[in-house]
Structure 1
Amino acid sequence: MTFSIVGRCEVTGQLGIAISSSSIAVGARCPWVRAGVGVVATQNVTLPALGSMILDHMERARLDPAGALDRALGESEWNEYRQVTVVDAQGRTAFFSGNQALGTYHAVAGKQCVAAGNMLAGTHVIEVMIPAFENASGHLADRLLAAMHAAIAAGGEAGPVHSAALKIAGEQSWPLVDLRVDWADDDPIGKLDGLWQAYKPQMQDYVTRALNPTAAPSYGVPGDE
């Protein structure tokens, strides 16, 4: 049903997540990221509220990922159906898989990253994501997507994948990257990667436009002069 990776860039401090699912619009429910705080994937039989709850506990109560995860689960119900992963702004990790997670499920923590999934072709799908992320170079998005491609190559989900999302927080309060493929009959991760490749050369321009409109580059569209 879902597999994902949450991670932190040691160089930039950016926090991000890449996720895919057999369900429609996984990016609307499962990825949560907050600049300077952390990143959360809440998946399986998803309770979206867990994302903001865990981030709030890390930011306001100054809890580490394990403490924030435990407190959020203690404040919610039906935890046996949940699967949750967390990385904070220091690169610390935590994860949880309830015993009613669907099909074959697994979660693994690496260096400043956690990969997890359910309804998998096998636990090895998650195992390959960690070295793919850790050994990849480039922007955090490139590393997250490398892990997703590795998972697909290893068999991915037990069934077809239909949606995918990529979300990254930088220094600003809004996401630096927020790209989604809400439904595709085939290869949503490949289509998501294509969106990233198109967005990457323009990414910083949109930050500039927000912070200093007088320095904003023009894209030559009507009204944009």
Structure 2
Amino acid sequence: MTFSIAAHQDGRFGIAATSSSPAVAARVIHLRDAVGAVTSQNVTDPRLGPALLDALASGASPDAALAEVLKDRPDTEYRQLTVVDASGEAATFSGRLTLGVHGEATAPHCAAAGNMLAGPDIPGILCEAFTDAEGELEERLLTALAAGLAAGGEAGPVYSAGLSTVSAAGWRDTDLRVDWQDDPIDALGRLLDVWLPQRDDYVRRGLEPAASPGYGVPGDDR
């Protein structure tokens, strides 16, 4: 039903995810400045994302955070999780009732997981593509997601996708979603092409409005 990748690059954290179900990014993506990136998927419990980020913030490693949060918690056999911290260490968890063909993988600074996949190797392909890619964190995440799809992706078609990052500004500096479309990863790429050249200007507008650049649209007289 979902495959995703969480990653760290130069102090930034990001996640890209896609699914056959609608609005996948609304449930799966969890990010926190200077702390980490967490995905919570399969039969999704979004409450696990903040709990894992709290554990990382308290000093736990990704493996220890998973052990702490999952200990004595009900229904963990349905959950699939990935965790990446500020050192680039990564860990994954897939409960025994994870749906269909599933898999997970880690590499330095990234972790990927998926369920109801065309093959169990898809998460490893995501991590390999991210590791080999160059450019901004967003570009590398999108490259990884596209590589997973090209390798077979889910057993069926995907319809939603999302890509988000944090960079210590206090909010998500990139937060893009395609909630229902026949080719959501391609649509996400086109959104990113529009957004990425403007990203830093929007951050500056939030932090330094008096010094920020104009919008270059009708009605903007700066």
Shorter-chain TM-score tier: over 0.9
Q: Which residue of 2 aligns with 1:95?
A: 92
1:142 matched to 2:139? The reply is yes
Q: Which residue of 1 aligns with 2:4?
A: 4
Secondary structure (helix, strand or coil) at the match of 2:34 reads coil
TM-score normalised over the length of structure 1: 0.95
Q: Which residue of 2 aligns with 1:208?
A: 204
Unmatched segments (≥5 aa) in structure 2: none
Return the alpha-carbon distance in structure 2 between the equivalents of residues 125 and 93 of structure 1: 17
Cα deviation, 1:95-130, whole Å, max 9, x if unaligned, reads 100010000000010111011100000012222111
Q: Alignment partner for residue 27 of structure 2, among 26, 29, 33?
A: 29
Count residues in correspondence: 221
For residues 55-70 of structure 1, the aligned pairs below 5 Å read: 55-59=53-57, 61-70=58-67
**Regions of 4+ moved over 2 Å:** 220-225
Return the alpha-carbon distance in structure 2 between the equivalents of residues 65 and 32 of structure 1: 14
RMSD: 1.1
For residues 59-138 of structure 1, the aligned pairs below 5 Å read: 59=57, 61-74=58-71, 76-138=73-135
1:165 matched to 2:140? The reply is no
Q: Which residue of 2 aligns with 1:46?
A: 44
Q: Which residue of 2 aligns with 1:187?
A: 183
Return the alpha-carbon distance in structure 2 between the equivalents of residues 115 and 144 of structure 1: 11
TM-score normalised over the length of structure 2: 0.96
Cα deviation, 1:60-86, whole Å, max 9, x if unaligned, reads x21111111111112531010100000
Unmatched segments (≥5 aa) in structure 1: none
Secondary structure (helix, strand or coil) at the match of 2:97 reads coil
Secondary structure (helix, strand or coil) at the match of 2:14 reads strand
Q: Which amino acid aligns with 1:35?
A: D
Cα deviation, 1:125-147, whole Å, max 9, x if unaligned, reads 22211111001000011111111
Q: Alignment partner for residue 193 of structure 2, among 184, 189, 197?
A: 197
The percentage of aligned residue pairs carrying the same residue is: 49
Secondary structure (helix, strand or coil) at the match of 1:29 reads helix
Structure 1 residue 220: deviation in Å? 3.1
Secondary structure (helix, strand or coil) at the match of 2:169 reads coil
8 A contact 2:159–2:183 mirrored in 1: yes
Return the alpha-carbon distance in structure 2 between the equivalents of residues 171 and 62 of structure 1: 18
Q: Which amino acid aligns with 2:159?
A: H
Q: Which residue of 1 aligns with 2:216?
A: 220
Structure 1 residue 224: deviation in Å? 3.2
Structure 1 residue 223: deviation in Å? 4.5
